[in-house]
Amino acid sequence: MNSEKVISGFFIILALTLNFGFVIGDIDVIAYHSVYELVAAIVVNLIATIMKLGDKTQTGSVLLATSFVADLQLIAAASVWGIVNMTSIMTPELFTIVVSLAAGALVANVISVSLFVGETLLLKR
Amino acid sequence: MNNESSIWLFLRKMRAPLIVLNIAHALPVILLTIVPGIDAQGNPAHLSFFDAMYIVAYTATTIGFGEIPYPFSYPQRIVVFLTIYATVPAWLYALGSIIALLQDKMFIYALKMNAFRRKVRHLSQDFIIICGYTDAGKLLIDRLTSDNLYRIVVIDKNIEKIESLQSELYMPSIPAIVADASMTDVLKSSGVQSPNCKFIVTLFDDDQLNLKISVRARILNENLEIIARSGVKHGGENLTNIGVNHVIDIFSIIAQRIDFALKSPYLFNLLSWVQGGNLHVSKSDVLPTGKYIVCSRGRFGKTIQNTLDKNGIDYTYLDINKEIHEKVSSDQDFFLEAGILGASCIIAGTNDDAINLSIIATARALNPTIFAIVRENELEERSLFSHLRVDKIFVLDQIAALDGYNYIDRPMTFNFIEGIAHFDKEKLVNTLLSITDKVNKRPGLLEMAINKNTMYALSQFLAHTPVTLGQLLNNPYRDGQDLEIVILGLMRNKGEFILLPDDSTALHDGDHLLFATTKPSLAHFKTIVNHYYELYYVIHDKEEKRFNLPWKRV
């Protein structure tokens, strides 16, 4: 067992699950989407990104790229939400943007996890 | 360690501080949004995420704007309290370790190496790699940059040398790196394998090092021209065997000069002019033929001995080693025994300038008229030697630099010297006088090819009209003035060499010419050969008809 693998695997998968948890539910109903879950998803995604830093391999680079995509989309979602709250009133139309951005991050996270699992399966030890 | 991996290592080491920073910010933000507060009207309120992030950011960096947007409730203050103790140390730790990592020597070296590699990759012209910014290297670079035919890349192990190179502000710039030139990946980074890399020059005093670099360079690039300086101990045989194209063997160059000087002062003068001197036979160019005293040791001594033997000169050889060293500097009897009073020439050829100085000083004291030849190992000693009014000074670094320069920028000089070595005295005098009469006593020497880049009009012209040398050089503007140019040699495309071609020699596209000339005349010449109408006038003695005026119908 490789403790580094356990830790990075934990964060990568946690990033996916939190992201999924935030996205699931009707896309325009605020009550179905917890702001804390979005914050947790961002934080865990950032940690997962940092865990992927400094990996020389080809898969490592693609993993890092997917993480960057997820970070970007989640932070964009949070920014939209925050700016709308500061400047006007949240409507279902605007909230759809937030959730769809987070859904995009979910796709990146799915790719990330499948790459991670695939790479692990390829290892013969 | 290889520099690629040190960048990866840097990123790995960044993980811990970044994660600490991330968590230390995230938890307080979440807590601050959960804990209830009271707004200005006394209603319960929660901080928004933006406010919470704002508060944590200014608290963590110890800026501390206060309680924004309204005074905190006690539960909030407890959280802020925790925030301060969690984030401030985390922030300091992360910042400290990131700054420490940025200052890591290996990391900085890796960054420099990457920048160097990028610069070399972007060199689009042909370039030369020079290993070792020694005195000889500096002289060579000065010469090469003034001709500006090639870009230059420099490798040296010594950081002060590279810094002094960078302070010289050469134009065009010279990419330089502090690295061990004998390492394969350093050579690769300096572009040895690039098709634009034409020459690699190693100028270290250390034979072993020159050998190592040459072997690696030859393996990495078969078409590269390798120029290596042969050191003090060995000749160039081993270097030639591993595929070095040109060995700079300073001792045999000096021996050749002494050999030429004994044969004829004119020959000597032409040779030393080609190797960087003046073209003017002075008294000090005439070597005496009496008894010689050679103070030297090792390979230099042997080379000189061979030369003197070949020319039938009587000499006494003093082997100067560590034990005799003491005597040389203090004991006049040592020189008296060697017969200094009857000698006509002394050669001070040890590898220590201080000993050479004391040899000359003692010899001069005993025999004021003796002809003194000295080997100068360090360039800084120049003024000391000229104070003693030494008749001939052989500066090793200068000779090495000029030889390398000749090989790179004007290879025809070697053919020229080889050619004139067989001339008899009268022919030599005529050659020398024809140059000094037509040009001056300090003519510039350079090699140029006839092609589209250097002589645009001429190379076009040669396709349909035959042109001879005399047409271009003698009285080109019909004002009775010849150009101050003497063509010393002409190299045909196929490699045929014509020594001192006469005025009726026809030119062909692709020929190389060796010029002895002045700057203004060269500028004139370049104007003629690069401008079509100018050239037309010079050759046909009339302006070319560009159009016919209607009232002058032929």
What pLDDT, in 10s, does the model give residues B338-366?
Answer: 788 888 888 888 888 888 888 888 888 88
- Residues whose CB is less than 8 angstroms from the CB of residue B470 and which lie 6 or more positions away in sequence, other chains included: B502, B503, B504
User: What domain range includes position A82?
Assistant: 3-122
Residues B217 and B226: beta-carbon distance below 8 Å? yes
Instruction: Tell me the pLDDT tens digit for each residue of B469-524.
Output: 888 888 888 888 888 888 989 999 888 888 888 888 888 888 999 988 888 888 88
CB–CB contact B14 A82 (8 Å) = no
Distance from CA of residue B343 to its chain's centroid?
Answer: 41
Q: How many domains does chain A have?
A: 1
Q: Which residues pair with B296 in a beta bridge?
A: B319, B349
How many A×B Cβ pairs under 8 Å? 47
Contacting B with CB below 8 Å, chain A residues are 35-36, 39-40, 43, 46-47, 50-51, 53-56, 78, 82, 85-86
Bridge-based pairing state of the strands B176-178 and B44-45 = unpaired
CA angle B3, A11, A114 (to 5 degrees): 85
Both structure tokens of B115: 């920048």
Residue A43 to residue B11, Cβ atoms within 8 A: no
- Please, which contacts does B163-167 make with residues 24 or more away whose CB atoms are closer than 8 Å? B164/B133, B165/B133, B165/B138, B165/B141
Residues B156 and B178 sit within 8 Å (Cβ to Cβ): yes
Strands B37-38 and B44-45: antiparallel
* Partner residue facing B15 (CB), from A35, A50, A85: A50
- Which of chain B's residues have a Cβ under 8 Å away from the Cβ of A47? 19, 22-23
Cα angle B268, B269, B271; round to 5? 65
Residues of A within 8 A of B33 (CB-CB) are: 35-36
**Quick one: pLDDT band at residue B236, thresholds 50, 70, 90?**
low
Residue range B158-164: average pLDDT?
89
Beta-carbon contacts of B53 under 8 Å, excluding residues fewer than 6 positions away, are B25, B29
**B281 within 8 A of B432, measured Cβ to Cβ:** yes
Give the type of residue at A59: T
Instruction: Take residue B453 and report the two structure tokens written for it.
Output: 């880049």
> CB–CB of B395/B356 below 8 Å?
no
Q: What confidence tier does A114 reach under pLDDT thresholds 50, 70, 90? A: very high
- Subunit contact B15:A46, Cβ cutoff 8 A: no
Q: What is the pLDDT of residues A56-69, one digit of tens each?
A: 788 888 999 999 99
Q: Do B26 and A43 touch (CB under 8 A)?
A: yes
Nearest to B18 among A35, A36, A50 (CB): A50
Enumerate residues 6+ apart whose C-beta is below 8 A from B21. B90, B91, B94
pLDDT digits (tens, 9 = 90+) for B185-213: 899 999 999 999 999 999 887 888 888 89
Enumerate the β-bridge partners of residue B499.
Answer: B489
For residue B5, the chain A residue with the least C-alpha distance is: A56
Q: Say if pTM beats, i.e. exceeds, 0.80.
A: no
pLDDT band at A1 (very low <50, low <70, confident <90, very high): low
Distance separating alpha carbons of residues B287 and B264, to the nearest angstrom: 9
Domains of chain B plus CATH, in order, are 3-103 (1.10.287), 120-248 (3.40.50.720), 253-401 (3.40.50.720), 443-540 (3.30.70.1450)
Chain B residues with CB inside 8 Å of A55's CB? 8
Place B1 in a pLDDT band, splitting at 50, 70 and 90. very low
Find the CB nearest A53 among B5, B11, B33: B11
Q: Which of A42-46, B387-391, B530-534 has the highest mean pLDDT?
A: A42-46
